[in-house]
Amino acid sequence: MKSSYLRHRMEIIVRVVFVLTLLNFGFVNSQIYDVLKFGAEGDGTTDDSKAFVAAWKAMCSSGGSNKTLLIPSDNTFLLQPLVFQGPCNSPSVQVQLDGKIVAPLNKAAWSGLKSYEWVSFHKIIGLTVLGSGTINGRGSSFWEANMPASKRPTQLHFKGCNNLEINGITSFDSPRNHISIRDCRQVKITQIKLIAPGDSPNTDGIDISTSTNVEIYDTIVGTGDDCVALNSGSININITRMQCGPGHGISVGSLGRDGEESIVENVQVTNCTFSETTNGARIKTWPNGKGYARNIVFKDITLTETKNPIIIDQHYMDKGHIHVEESSAVAISNVIFTDIHGTSQKDEIIKIDCSGVTSCKDIVLDRIDITTVDGNKPIIECSNAYGKSTNTYDGCLKTK
């Protein structure tokens, strides 16, 4: 009897010790995985990358639901390039960013920069990244070195992450683009801020490619390049209530580079503001591309001293490329610009420069009210563009 009692007591003690061990290593009710409990220092100088990956692996491999990787407030975590790899055993996982994440002080201090992605999330279903925290890429040393964009890291890279939500976080000074969405389905991005100097090169806010059903709303983006760039494979994209500026506006493209086939369709950009941006509503394609961009709407747009408020450029080329004879082009059709008002820094408020090979078809200019800052008469230019103007600058678009 006594031996049985002691054995029972010992089993209870072992279970208690086991539970306390789990708690000590970051488990709270088997839900919260605190990176501090996995060895992160949070002092802003120690490399905490291994602790972050360890916490992620523990969470991702566990079963159940509502798992959270906690990056706690009042701490600053230095990270080298790392990958949060999926799939996870839980149907939904969460990264709670309440503290600060910082990159190495300068480009010389980076290590393991092989894929040119800083913090990556791969093949994770049901991922939510949220919180009041910040991530700072300290990108100035990359910008000042005039390094090509292809040799600079993206700040946050999401690939193959379906049912993705990004909410509340703030991103500063990415060496390249702040957020990349690639091969993702069902994405919601809201209440975020993406910030970089207006002269910082290639610091796009959000780049989207080969992704469908993406909603971006109630966001603030001010960088040195496109607030949003919709690259090939962007389908069913809804952008609303974005404050854009400084930057290059919201762009479809560039598409068709080096003769590639590009597809973008079903895009709505509504109730957005552009403040002192280089461009407003823009579509840009390279000569000799293939594919199409169609069913695109820019509606209820407010402009403040925007340089190129409305632009379709089918002769887009980066610096250093040689112009060649055009034999093909991305086909642009069913594009609506409506309820666009405000001020332009330049006299040319509308430029629709389409390919002579395919032309632009079914273009609509409706209720456009843009004045120039200097008070000059607005100038519009249309080339190889077919459609209609309603209450706006009759005669620019050709009729069939």
- Positions marked active-site: 248
**Chain centroid, CA 255 distance in Å:** 17
Structure tokens at 306: 């925007």
- Contact residues for 144 (Cβ-Cβ < 8 A; gap 6+): none
Rounded distance between C-alpha atoms, residue 128 and residue 106, angstroms: 29
Rounded distance between C-alpha atoms, residue 371 and residue 364, angstroms: 19
Handedness of CA 66, 164, 132, 50 (dihedral sign): positive
- CA dist list (Å): 118 to 77, 103, 106, 202: 14, 8, 13, 16
- Cis? peptide before 378, omega within 30° of 0: no
- Contact residues for 371 (Cβ-Cβ < 8 A; gap 6+): 342, 343, 344, 378
- AA identity, residue 139: G
- Contact residues for 140 (Cβ-Cβ < 8 A; gap 6+): 173, 200
CB 250 within 8 A of CB 220: no
Rounded distance between C-alpha atoms, residue 152 and residue 136, angstroms: 14
